[in-house]
Structure 1
Amino acid sequence: MEYAAVRDDMVTSLEHDTKDVVHDPAVADAMRTVPRHEFVDDDAGHRAYADREFEHRGTRVLAPSTAARLVEALHPEPGNDVLVVGVGVGYTAALLAELVGAQRVHAVDIDRRLVYDARRTLADAGYGDVLVDCANGADGLPAYAPYDRILVEAAAVRPPRALRAQLADGGRLVYPEGAHRQRLVALEDDDRRDYGEVEFAPLLVEGEQASAPVRNRTVREDRERAAKANERRHGWEQDWIDWDAR
Protein backbone atom coordinates (compact mmCIF):
# COMPACT_ATOMS: atom_id res chain seq x y z
CA MET A 1 0.00 0.00 0.00
CA GLU A 2 1.40 3.40 -0.99
CA TYR A 3 1.31 6.03 1.74
CA ALA A 4 3.25 8.95 0.27
CA ALA A 5 0.10 10.80 -0.81
CA VAL A 6 -1.62 10.48 2.58
CA ARG A 7 1.58 11.56 4.35
CA ASP A 8 1.64 14.65 2.19
CA ASP A 9 -2.01 15.37 3.00
CA MET A 10 -1.28 14.92 6.70
CA VAL A 11 1.54 17.45 6.67
CA THR A 12 -0.41 19.90 4.53
CA SER A 13 -3.21 19.85 7.10
CA LEU A 14 -0.69 20.49 9.91
CA GLU A 15 0.73 23.45 8.01
CA HIS A 16 -2.71 24.94 7.34
CA ASP A 17 -3.95 27.84 9.45
CA THR A 18 -6.59 25.65 11.09
CA LYS A 19 -3.88 23.68 12.94
CA ASP A 20 -0.75 25.73 12.31
CA VAL A 21 1.70 23.44 14.10
CA VAL A 22 4.27 22.84 11.37
CA HIS A 23 6.32 25.88 10.38
CA ASP A 24 9.83 24.54 9.80
CA PRO A 25 10.28 23.15 6.26
CA ALA A 26 12.75 20.58 7.60
CA VAL A 27 10.15 19.24 10.04
CA ALA A 28 7.59 19.11 7.24
CA ASP A 29 10.01 17.12 5.07
CA ALA A 30 10.73 14.71 7.92
CA MET A 31 7.02 14.10 8.52
CA ARG A 32 6.50 13.53 4.81
CA THR A 33 9.28 10.93 4.89
CA VAL A 34 8.79 8.90 8.09
CA PRO A 35 6.41 5.96 7.51
CA ARG A 36 4.09 6.57 10.46
CA HIS A 37 2.11 3.41 9.71
CA GLU A 38 5.11 1.39 10.94
CA PHE A 39 4.55 2.81 14.43
CA VAL A 40 0.85 2.07 14.88
CA ASP A 41 -1.32 -1.03 14.83
CA ASP A 42 -0.90 -3.25 11.79
CA ASP A 43 -4.52 -2.83 10.76
CA ALA A 44 -4.53 0.98 10.98
CA GLY A 45 -3.76 1.49 7.30
CA HIS A 46 -4.44 5.04 6.15
CA ARG A 47 -5.83 5.88 9.61
CA ALA A 48 -2.19 6.02 10.77
CA TYR A 49 -2.00 9.40 9.03
CA ALA A 50 -5.09 10.90 10.62
CA ASP A 51 -4.36 13.46 13.31
CA ARG A 52 -5.28 11.13 16.15
CA GLU A 53 -3.62 9.17 18.91
CA PHE A 54 -3.26 5.42 19.15
CA GLU A 55 -2.70 3.23 22.19
CA HIS A 56 0.07 0.66 22.54
CA ARG A 57 0.94 -1.35 25.65
CA GLY A 58 -0.49 1.23 28.02
CA THR A 59 1.19 4.19 26.36
CA ARG A 60 -0.05 6.49 23.65
CA VAL A 61 1.29 6.94 20.16
CA LEU A 62 1.25 10.71 19.85
CA ALA A 63 -0.99 12.35 17.30
CA PRO A 64 1.01 13.88 14.42
CA SER A 65 0.14 17.41 15.57
CA THR A 66 1.49 16.70 19.06
CA ALA A 67 4.67 15.14 17.71
CA ALA A 68 5.14 18.14 15.43
CA ARG A 69 4.79 20.57 18.35
CA LEU A 70 7.44 18.70 20.32
CA VAL A 71 9.91 18.60 17.47
CA GLU A 72 9.38 22.24 16.53
CA ALA A 73 9.89 23.31 20.15
CA LEU A 74 13.06 21.23 20.34
CA HIS A 75 14.41 22.94 17.20
CA PRO A 76 17.02 20.30 16.35
CA GLU A 77 19.79 21.16 13.91
CA PRO A 78 21.77 18.80 11.66
CA GLY A 79 24.55 17.16 13.62
CA ASN A 80 22.94 17.68 17.03
CA ASP A 81 23.17 14.83 19.52
CA VAL A 82 19.64 14.20 20.80
CA LEU A 83 18.19 12.29 23.73
CA VAL A 84 14.52 11.28 23.80
CA VAL A 85 13.15 10.40 27.24
CA GLY A 86 10.03 8.22 27.10
CA VAL A 87 10.51 7.04 23.54
CA GLY A 88 7.32 4.96 23.45
CA VAL A 89 6.97 3.31 20.05
CA GLY A 90 9.65 5.54 18.51
CA TYR A 91 7.78 7.79 16.07
CA THR A 92 9.19 11.05 17.41
CA ALA A 93 12.67 9.50 17.50
CA ALA A 94 12.27 8.63 13.82
CA LEU A 95 11.39 12.23 12.98
CA LEU A 96 14.49 13.38 14.84
CA ALA A 97 16.58 10.80 13.01
CA GLU A 98 15.51 12.39 9.74
CA LEU A 99 16.56 15.80 11.05
CA VAL A 100 19.91 15.07 12.74
CA GLY A 101 20.89 11.58 11.57
CA ALA A 102 19.88 8.27 13.15
CA GLN A 103 23.27 7.66 14.76
CA ARG A 104 22.90 10.89 16.72
CA VAL A 105 19.56 9.99 18.28
CA HIS A 106 19.54 8.23 21.65
CA ALA A 107 16.40 7.23 23.48
CA VAL A 108 15.29 5.65 26.74
CA ASP A 109 12.09 4.23 28.11
CA ILE A 110 11.37 2.73 31.51
CA ASP A 111 9.16 0.00 30.02
CA ARG A 112 11.29 -2.84 28.62
CA ARG A 113 8.50 -4.06 26.34
CA LEU A 114 8.31 -0.63 24.72
CA VAL A 115 12.08 -0.60 24.30
CA TYR A 116 11.94 -3.85 22.34
CA ASP A 117 9.00 -2.61 20.28
CA ALA A 118 10.69 0.73 19.55
CA ARG A 119 13.87 -1.01 18.41
CA ARG A 120 11.88 -3.24 16.09
CA THR A 121 9.66 -0.54 14.61
CA LEU A 122 12.56 1.88 14.14
CA ALA A 123 14.55 -0.83 12.35
CA ASP A 124 11.56 -1.74 10.16
CA ALA A 125 11.08 1.92 9.29
CA GLY A 126 14.74 2.35 8.31
CA TYR A 127 16.10 3.95 11.50
CA GLY A 128 17.86 1.00 13.08
CA ASP A 129 20.85 3.15 14.03
CA VAL A 130 18.79 4.97 16.68
CA LEU A 131 19.98 3.73 20.07
CA VAL A 132 17.14 2.74 22.40
CA ASP A 133 17.88 1.63 25.96
CA CYS A 134 15.80 0.70 29.00
CA ALA A 135 16.38 3.20 31.79
CA ASN A 136 14.69 5.46 34.30
CA GLY A 137 13.95 8.58 32.26
CA ALA A 138 14.81 10.96 35.10
CA ASP A 139 18.36 9.55 35.03
CA GLY A 140 18.77 10.20 31.32
CA LEU A 141 21.51 8.31 29.49
CA PRO A 142 24.80 9.62 30.88
CA ALA A 143 26.99 7.21 28.90
CA TYR A 144 26.43 9.24 25.72
CA ALA A 145 26.13 12.73 27.22
CA PRO A 146 26.33 15.60 26.64
CA TYR A 147 23.36 16.20 24.37
CA ASP A 148 22.58 19.26 22.31
CA ARG A 149 18.87 18.54 22.60
CA ILE A 150 16.84 16.59 25.16
CA LEU A 151 13.15 15.89 24.60
CA VAL A 152 11.04 14.53 27.46
CA GLU A 153 7.77 12.93 26.35
CA ALA A 154 6.36 12.82 29.89
CA ALA A 155 5.31 15.50 32.33
CA ALA A 156 7.38 16.72 35.28
CA VAL A 157 6.85 19.52 37.77
CA ARG A 158 10.45 20.54 37.18
CA PRO A 159 13.15 19.16 34.88
CA PRO A 160 15.11 16.31 36.49
CA ARG A 161 18.51 17.48 37.67
CA ALA A 162 20.30 14.67 35.84
CA LEU A 163 18.85 15.77 32.51
CA ARG A 164 19.97 19.36 33.05
CA ALA A 165 23.46 18.06 33.83
CA GLN A 166 23.55 16.06 30.59
CA LEU A 167 22.85 19.10 28.40
CA ALA A 168 25.74 20.47 26.39
CA ASP A 169 26.60 24.14 26.70
CA GLY A 170 23.90 26.02 24.84
CA GLY A 171 21.76 22.88 24.77
CA ARG A 172 17.98 22.87 24.75
CA LEU A 173 15.62 20.86 26.97
CA VAL A 174 11.94 20.50 26.07
CA TYR A 175 9.42 18.94 28.42
CA PRO A 176 5.76 19.17 29.51
CA GLU A 177 5.82 21.10 32.79
CA GLY A 178 3.20 20.67 35.47
CA ALA A 179 0.92 18.10 37.03
CA HIS A 180 -2.75 18.63 36.20
CA ARG A 181 -2.28 21.75 34.09
CA GLN A 182 0.73 21.41 31.82
CA ARG A 183 2.65 23.70 29.50
CA LEU A 184 5.19 22.70 26.88
CA VAL A 185 8.39 24.43 27.95
CA ALA A 186 11.79 24.84 26.30
CA LEU A 187 14.82 25.72 28.42
CA GLU A 188 18.04 26.97 26.85
CA ASP A 189 20.66 28.54 29.13
CA ASP A 190 18.72 31.26 30.97
CA ASP A 191 16.01 31.42 28.29
CA ARG A 192 12.61 29.87 28.89
CA ARG A 193 9.94 29.62 26.21
CA ASP A 194 6.34 28.52 26.55
CA TYR A 195 4.73 26.61 23.67
CA GLY A 196 1.22 26.30 25.04
CA GLU A 197 -0.93 23.77 26.82
CA VAL A 198 -0.29 20.04 26.54
CA GLU A 199 -1.41 16.89 28.30
CA PHE A 200 1.03 14.08 28.99
CA ALA A 201 1.29 11.20 31.44
CA PRO A 202 3.76 11.83 34.27
CA LEU A 203 7.39 10.80 34.14
CA LEU A 204 7.48 7.38 35.81
CA VAL A 205 9.96 5.88 38.22
CA GLU A 206 10.89 2.20 38.47
CA GLY A 207 7.91 0.09 39.49
CA GLU A 208 5.25 2.40 38.02
CA GLN A 209 5.52 1.29 34.40
CA ALA A 210 2.81 -0.93 32.91
CA SER A 211 5.22 -3.84 32.60
CA ALA A 212 6.40 -3.72 36.22
CA PRO A 213 6.27 -7.23 37.68
CA VAL A 214 4.10 -7.86 40.71
CA ARG A 215 6.28 -9.51 43.35
CA ASN A 216 4.53 -12.40 45.09
CA ARG A 217 6.15 -11.40 48.37
CA THR A 218 4.61 -7.94 48.13
CA VAL A 219 1.17 -9.37 47.45
CA ARG A 220 1.55 -11.74 50.37
CA GLU A 221 2.78 -8.99 52.65
CA ASP A 222 -0.16 -6.79 51.71
CA ARG A 223 -2.57 -9.62 52.45
CA GLU A 224 -0.96 -10.38 55.81
CA ARG A 225 -0.89 -6.74 56.83
CA ALA A 226 -4.55 -6.34 55.93
CA ALA A 227 -5.43 -9.38 58.07
CA LYS A 228 -3.48 -8.03 61.02
CA ALA A 229 -5.14 -4.65 60.65
CA ASN A 230 -8.56 -6.31 60.82
CA GLU A 231 -7.58 -8.15 64.01
CA ARG A 232 -6.03 -5.13 65.67
CA ARG A 233 -8.21 -3.42 68.27
CA HIS A 234 -7.79 -0.11 70.01
CA GLY A 235 -6.91 -0.03 73.72
CA TRP A 236 -10.48 0.54 74.86
CA GLU A 237 -11.55 -2.55 72.90
CA GLN A 238 -9.01 -4.95 74.42
CA ASP A 239 -10.72 -7.41 76.81
CA TRP A 240 -7.49 -8.26 78.62
CA ILE A 241 -7.17 -4.76 80.07
CA ASP A 242 -8.81 -4.40 83.48
CA TRP A 243 -9.97 -0.81 83.12
CA ASP A 244 -11.58 -0.75 86.57
CA ALA A 245 -8.24 -1.48 88.21
CA ARG A 246 -6.45 1.32 86.35
Structure 2
Amino acid sequence: MEDEKKRVIEKLIREGYIKDKKVIEALLKVPREEFVPEHLKKYAYVDTPLEIGYGQTISAIHMVGLMTELLDLKPGMKVLEIGTGSGYHAAVVAEIVGKDGLVVSIERIPELAERAKKVLKKLGYDNVIVLVGDGTLGCKEYAPYDRIYVTAAGPKIPKALIEQLKDGGKLVMPIGRYLQELIVAEKKGDRVEIKKVCPVSFVPLIGEDGFK
Protein backbone atom coordinates (compact mmCIF):
# COMPACT_ATOMS: atom_id res chain seq x y z
CA MET A 1 0.00 0.00 0.00
CA GLU A 2 2.80 2.44 0.89
CA ASP A 3 4.47 1.91 -2.51
CA GLU A 4 1.14 2.49 -4.29
CA LYS A 5 0.61 5.65 -2.25
CA LYS A 6 4.07 7.02 -3.14
CA ARG A 7 3.57 6.20 -6.83
CA VAL A 8 0.23 8.01 -7.11
CA ILE A 9 1.50 11.08 -5.23
CA GLU A 10 4.66 11.24 -7.37
CA LYS A 11 2.38 11.13 -10.44
CA LEU A 12 0.27 14.03 -9.07
CA ILE A 13 3.43 16.06 -8.49
CA ARG A 14 4.56 15.39 -12.09
CA GLU A 15 1.13 16.37 -13.41
CA GLY A 16 1.21 19.64 -11.45
CA TYR A 17 -1.76 19.01 -9.14
CA ILE A 18 0.34 19.50 -6.03
CA LYS A 19 3.53 21.49 -5.42
CA ASP A 20 3.31 22.51 -1.76
CA LYS A 21 5.65 20.42 0.41
CA LYS A 22 3.18 20.52 3.36
CA VAL A 23 0.38 19.08 1.19
CA ILE A 24 2.65 16.38 -0.24
CA GLU A 25 3.77 15.34 3.25
CA ALA A 26 0.16 15.24 4.51
CA LEU A 27 -1.00 13.07 1.58
CA LEU A 28 1.92 10.70 2.20
CA LYS A 29 1.11 10.47 5.90
CA VAL A 30 -2.69 9.94 5.84
CA PRO A 31 -3.71 6.29 5.23
CA ARG A 32 -6.53 6.65 2.65
CA GLU A 33 -7.25 2.91 2.92
CA GLU A 34 -8.59 3.49 6.45
CA PHE A 35 -11.30 5.79 5.09
CA VAL A 36 -12.70 3.60 2.31
CA PRO A 37 -15.17 0.70 2.73
CA GLU A 38 -13.57 -2.71 3.33
CA HIS A 39 -14.43 -4.09 -0.14
CA LEU A 40 -12.76 -1.08 -1.84
CA LYS A 41 -9.52 -1.01 0.16
CA LYS A 42 -7.54 -2.47 -2.75
CA TYR A 43 -8.50 0.64 -4.77
CA ALA A 44 -7.46 3.09 -2.03
CA TYR A 45 -4.58 4.46 -4.10
CA VAL A 46 -6.32 4.56 -7.44
CA ASP A 47 -6.79 8.27 -8.14
CA THR A 48 -10.56 8.20 -8.46
CA PRO A 49 -13.62 8.96 -6.29
CA LEU A 50 -14.91 5.87 -4.45
CA GLU A 51 -18.42 5.15 -3.14
CA ILE A 52 -18.72 5.36 0.66
CA GLY A 53 -22.49 4.73 0.88
CA TYR A 54 -25.57 6.97 1.14
CA GLY A 55 -24.95 8.32 -2.38
CA GLN A 56 -21.66 9.94 -1.28
CA THR A 57 -18.05 9.49 -2.36
CA ILE A 58 -14.51 9.94 -1.08
CA SER A 59 -12.91 12.46 -3.47
CA ALA A 60 -10.12 11.49 -5.86
CA ILE A 61 -6.65 11.97 -4.39
CA HIS A 62 -5.74 14.69 -6.91
CA MET A 63 -8.84 16.70 -5.97
CA VAL A 64 -8.09 16.50 -2.24
CA GLY A 65 -4.51 17.60 -3.00
CA LEU A 66 -5.59 20.45 -5.28
CA MET A 67 -8.26 21.82 -2.90
CA THR A 68 -5.90 21.57 0.08
CA GLU A 69 -3.19 23.43 -1.83
CA LEU A 70 -5.64 26.17 -2.86
CA LEU A 71 -6.55 26.72 0.81
CA ASP A 72 -2.97 27.87 1.49
CA LEU A 73 -2.98 26.37 5.00
CA LYS A 74 -0.63 27.23 7.83
CA PRO A 75 -0.05 25.54 11.21
CA GLY A 76 -2.43 26.74 13.93
CA MET A 77 -5.26 27.71 11.57
CA LYS A 78 -8.93 27.08 12.33
CA VAL A 79 -10.66 25.47 9.35
CA LEU A 80 -14.31 24.68 8.61
CA GLU A 81 -15.06 21.73 6.34
CA ILE A 82 -18.54 21.29 4.87
CA GLY A 83 -19.17 17.63 3.99
CA THR A 84 -17.11 15.27 6.16
CA GLY A 85 -17.88 12.24 4.01
CA SER A 86 -15.29 9.61 4.89
CA GLY A 87 -13.14 11.99 6.96
CA TYR A 88 -10.12 11.60 4.64
CA HIS A 89 -9.94 15.24 3.51
CA ALA A 90 -10.30 16.45 7.11
CA ALA A 91 -7.36 14.24 8.11
CA VAL A 92 -5.16 15.72 5.35
CA VAL A 93 -6.04 19.27 6.46
CA ALA A 94 -5.55 18.31 10.14
CA GLU A 95 -2.01 17.13 9.36
CA ILE A 96 -1.12 20.59 8.03
CA VAL A 97 -2.81 22.79 10.67
CA GLY A 98 -1.27 20.56 13.34
CA LYS A 99 -2.05 20.15 17.02
CA ASP A 100 -2.40 23.90 17.53
CA GLY A 101 -4.93 24.10 14.69
CA LEU A 102 -8.52 22.89 14.48
CA VAL A 103 -10.72 21.35 11.81
CA VAL A 104 -14.47 21.63 12.39
CA SER A 105 -16.29 19.33 9.96
CA ILE A 106 -20.03 19.21 9.31
CA GLU A 107 -21.79 16.18 7.80
CA ARG A 108 -25.55 15.98 7.13
CA ILE A 109 -25.69 12.14 7.12
CA PRO A 110 -25.39 10.89 10.75
CA GLU A 111 -24.10 7.42 9.79
CA LEU A 112 -21.22 8.88 7.76
CA ALA A 113 -20.39 11.35 10.53
CA GLU A 114 -20.26 8.54 13.08
CA ARG A 115 -18.04 6.38 10.89
CA ALA A 116 -15.66 9.28 10.12
CA LYS A 117 -15.49 10.18 13.80
CA LYS A 118 -14.44 6.62 14.71
CA VAL A 119 -11.71 6.43 12.04
CA LEU A 120 -10.32 9.88 12.89
CA LYS A 121 -10.24 9.01 16.60
CA LYS A 122 -8.56 5.65 15.91
CA LEU A 123 -5.86 7.44 13.88
CA GLY A 124 -5.32 10.04 16.61
CA TYR A 125 -6.73 13.14 14.93
CA ASP A 126 -7.75 14.93 18.13
CA ASN A 127 -7.75 18.27 16.29
CA VAL A 128 -10.86 17.35 14.23
CA ILE A 129 -14.41 17.88 15.49
CA VAL A 130 -17.16 16.16 13.47
CA LEU A 131 -20.69 17.55 13.81
CA VAL A 132 -24.00 16.52 12.26
CA GLY A 133 -25.98 19.33 10.65
CA ASP A 134 -26.77 21.51 7.66
CA GLY A 135 -23.38 22.56 6.34
CA THR A 136 -24.82 25.51 4.40
CA LEU A 137 -25.42 27.19 7.76
CA GLY A 138 -21.82 26.70 8.85
CA CYS A 139 -21.01 26.49 12.57
CA LYS A 140 -21.19 29.74 14.56
CA GLU A 141 -19.87 28.10 17.72
CA TYR A 142 -16.25 28.02 16.49
CA ALA A 143 -16.38 30.97 14.06
CA PRO A 144 -14.62 32.92 12.66
CA TYR A 145 -12.52 30.59 10.49
CA ASP A 146 -9.20 31.20 8.73
CA ARG A 147 -10.23 28.87 5.94
CA ILE A 148 -13.44 27.15 4.77
CA TYR A 149 -13.84 24.47 2.12
CA VAL A 150 -16.90 22.70 0.78
CA THR A 151 -16.78 19.16 -0.64
CA ALA A 152 -20.13 19.38 -2.47
CA ALA A 153 -21.28 21.72 -5.24
CA GLY A 154 -23.74 24.49 -4.40
CA PRO A 155 -25.61 27.06 -6.51
CA LYS A 156 -23.60 29.83 -4.80
CA ILE A 157 -21.45 30.40 -1.73
CA PRO A 158 -23.80 30.09 1.28
CA LYS A 159 -24.23 33.44 3.06
CA ALA A 160 -23.42 31.98 6.50
CA LEU A 161 -20.04 30.73 5.28
CA ILE A 162 -19.02 34.19 4.05
CA GLU A 163 -20.12 35.65 7.40
CA GLN A 164 -18.15 33.04 9.36
CA LEU A 165 -14.95 33.52 7.31
CA LYS A 166 -12.31 35.82 8.82
CA ASP A 167 -11.42 38.99 6.96
CA GLY A 168 -8.53 37.97 4.70
CA GLY A 169 -9.69 34.34 4.88
CA LYS A 170 -10.09 32.00 1.92
CA LEU A 171 -12.91 29.68 0.91
CA VAL A 172 -12.67 26.86 -1.66
CA MET A 173 -15.76 25.20 -3.13
CA PRO A 174 -17.34 23.89 -6.34
CA ILE A 175 -20.17 26.05 -7.76
CA GLY A 176 -22.89 24.82 -10.13
CA ARG A 177 -25.18 21.85 -10.58
CA TYR A 178 -24.38 20.04 -13.84
CA LEU A 179 -21.56 22.26 -15.05
CA GLN A 180 -19.44 22.95 -11.98
CA GLU A 181 -16.44 25.18 -11.45
CA LEU A 182 -14.01 25.02 -8.53
CA ILE A 183 -13.54 28.52 -7.10
CA VAL A 184 -11.34 30.25 -4.52
CA ALA A 185 -13.02 33.16 -2.73
CA GLU A 186 -11.08 35.65 -0.63
CA LYS A 187 -12.85 37.89 1.87
CA LYS A 188 -11.62 41.49 1.79
CA GLY A 189 -13.77 43.56 4.15
CA ASP A 190 -17.24 43.79 2.61
CA ARG A 191 -16.03 42.38 -0.71
CA VAL A 192 -15.49 38.79 -1.77
CA GLU A 193 -13.03 38.27 -4.62
CA ILE A 194 -13.66 35.09 -6.61
CA LYS A 195 -11.17 33.26 -8.81
CA LYS A 196 -12.24 30.33 -11.02
CA VAL A 197 -9.85 27.38 -10.99
CA CYS A 198 -11.13 24.49 -13.13
CA PRO A 199 -14.22 22.43 -14.10
CA VAL A 200 -15.07 19.71 -11.54
CA SER A 201 -17.74 17.15 -10.72
CA PHE A 202 -19.06 16.88 -7.14
CA VAL A 203 -22.21 15.62 -5.42
CA PRO A 204 -24.76 18.43 -4.78
CA LEU A 205 -24.65 20.53 -1.62
CA ILE A 206 -27.98 19.87 0.10
CA GLY A 207 -29.33 22.33 2.65
CA GLU A 208 -31.18 25.51 3.44
CA ASP A 209 -28.76 27.65 1.41
CA GLY A 210 -27.82 24.94 -1.10
CA PHE A 211 -29.81 22.67 -3.38
CA LYS A 212 -33.07 21.59 -1.76
On whether the aligned pair clears a TM of 0.5, the verdict is: yes
Q: How far apart, CA to CA, are the structure 2 residues paired with 1:95 and 1:195?
A: 21
Q: Select the residue among 94, 97, 100 that pairs with 1:100.
A: 97
Is 1:87 matched up with 2:89? no
The one-letter amino acid paired with 1:192 is: I
Distance 1:8 1:27 in 2: 13
Q: Which has the larger radius of gyration?
A: 1
Specify the SS of the correspondent of 1:77.
coil
C-alpha deviation, 1:46, in angstroms: 4.2
Partner SS for 2:168: strand
Aligned-partner residue type, residue 94 of structure 1: A
User: Which amino acid is the alignment partner of residue 70 of structure 1?
Assistant: M
Q: Give the secondary structure class of the aligned counterpart of 1:44.
A: helix
Greater RCO structure (CA 8 Å; 6+ sep) = 2
Query: Matches of residues 217-228 of structure 1 in structure 2 within 5 Å?
Result: none
The aligned residue for residue 142 of structure 1 is 140
RMSD value, Cα? 1.8
Q: Does 1:34 align with 2:36?
A: no
Q: Which amino acid in structure 1 is aligned with residue 114 of structure 2?
A: Y
Residue in structure 2 matched with residue 76 of structure 1 by the alignment: 73
Q: State how many pairs are aligned.
A: 204
Give how far 1:42 is off. Answer: 1.9
Per the alignment, residue 114 of structure 1 pairs with 112
The aligned residue for residue 191 of structure 1 is 193
Q: Is the 8 A contact 1:22 1:72 kept in 2?
A: yes
Deviation by residue 1:116-170 (Cα, 9 ceiling, x = unmatched): 0110111223314310000101111110000000001111121110111000111
Verify the 8 A CA contact 1:119 1:128 in the aligned structure 2: no
Question: Normalising by structure 2, what TM-score?
Answer: 0.90
Q: How much identity, in percent, do the aligned residues show?
A: 35
Unmatched 5+ stretches in structure 1 = 209-246
Q: Distance in 2 between matches of 1:82 and 1:53?
A: 23
5+ residue gaps, structure 2: none
How many Å separate the matches in 2 of 1:6 and 1:122?
Answer: 22
For 1:204, give the aligned amino acid: I
SS at match of 2:114: helix
The structure in which a higher percent of residues are strand is 2
Runs of 4+ in 1 over 4 A off after TM superposition: none
- When the two structures are superposed, what TM-score results if normalisation uses the length of structure 1? 0.78
